[in-house]
Structure 1
Amino acid sequence: MNPVLIQLAWRFFLLGFVAIGGANAAVPEMHRYVVEVERWMTDGEFAALFAIANAAPGPNVLIVTLVGWHVAGIPGALVTTVAMLGPTGLLVYGVFHVWNRMRNAPWRPAVQNGLSAVTVGLVAATAHILTLATATNIRLAAVTAATAAASYLTKTNPLWCFAAAAALGAAGLL
């Protein structure tokens, strides 16, 4: 078997267990591995795959499939997707049944609150990694900050901010 496929299978198998709250929680480690450790892609390529995964309809786990495809084509896409979703899907199925049986346990709210905090931290780390990867000059940093502020402070759909940024880029202003 192709050694790259074995590496992808093992890494994404492990990533599945730290993706508390969804695939976006594993993005910082995914980025570290494929960009910094293995150098299979650049920061910009990773950010572009993340953008495509989030712009496309469907679950955010599409980033996993796109990274696998970028690294090793269709076999890579299949390996990364199955490795990340298969084992953890079975684990979640088992944990769900135990969780339901323990619905009145006094420790359950503390565990839920702790996992929520971990999820928020991992997703914030994703935002930080992607900001560093894409805000490579002062204009891009300003657009990133404006998009974040508009999304956070107003009820503006972030897609309008992305469209404005795309228009600025198409006009050669970024």
Structure 2
Amino acid sequence: MIALTLLWRFGLLSLMAVGGANVLLPELQRLVVEQGWMGASQFAELFALAQAAPGPNVLVVSLIGWHVAGVTGALLSMLGMCLPSSVLSFYVSRWWAERHGSELTRLLARALLPLTVGLVGASACLLLQAANRDAAGWALSAAVALIAWRRNWNPLWLLLLGALVGGLGWL
């Protein structure tokens, strides 16, 4: 049954979600496209929809599950994505609190930072490739990245700018 496949796959992925669900985007995209559940551009559209909705970044998982297997798929995908990592986080946080400040915890904290940054960067590259089909899309992405880097604007203004550009049909 496809819903149980979703539960199993997302359960395994949840244990790799160091830094949140967004770091799993390259693997999520590979999984759903390789399985033939949807194309890369449709995945990018579901991700954009999940980001526009209020709530946690993990909402994209429920949208994938819903697309693949309806309401049951959405529920089992979220259960698979949230339960294993929550249980693991509970026990790791207890372990971490007991050993806080030790050489091992300092080493682990230093090791996890570049891992998380690399996973987030890979996610950004994947989404840029899936969403930008022409030079105008790449130019807009570059402009937004430059503005976000150089200015301390609220990201909602950048989302509004993107909605305006899209709404006017310029992209």
TM-score by length of 1: 0.93
Unmatched runs of 5 consecutive residues or more in structure 2: none
What amino acid sits opposite 1:53 in the alignment?
A
- Kindly state the Cα deviation for residue 51 of structure 1 after the two structures are TM-superposed: 1.4
- 1:86 equivalent in structure 2: 83
TM-score by length of 2: 0.95
Higher RCO, 1 vs 2 (CA within 8 Å, ≥6 residues apart)? 2
2:66 matched to 1:63? Answer: no
CA distance in 1, matches of 2:112, 2:103: 16
- 1:33 equivalent in structure 2: 31
- Given candidates 101, 118, 126, the residue that maps to 1:129 is 126
1:135-171 residue CA offsets vs partner (Å, 9 max, x unmatched): 1100011111111111111112232222222222222
- 1:22 equivalent in structure 2: 20
2:85 matched to 1:115? Answer: no
Coordinate RMSD, CA, aligned? 1.2
What amino acid sits opposite 2:127 in the alignment?
L
2:152 matched to 1:155? Answer: yes
CA distance in 2, matches of 1:104, 1:165: 44
- Kindly state the Cα deviation for residue 52 of structure 1 after the two structures are TM-superposed: 1.8
Paired residues, what number?
Answer: 171
1:113-147 residue CA offsets vs partner (Å, 9 max, x unmatched): 11121111111111010000001100011111111
- Kindly state the Cα deviation for residue 6 of structure 1 after the two structures are TM-superposed: 2.1
2:166 matched to 1:169? Answer: yes
What amino acid sits opposite 2:3 in the alignment?
L
- 1:139 equivalent in structure 2: 136
Give the stretch that moved more between structures: 123-132 or 54-63.
Answer: 54-63
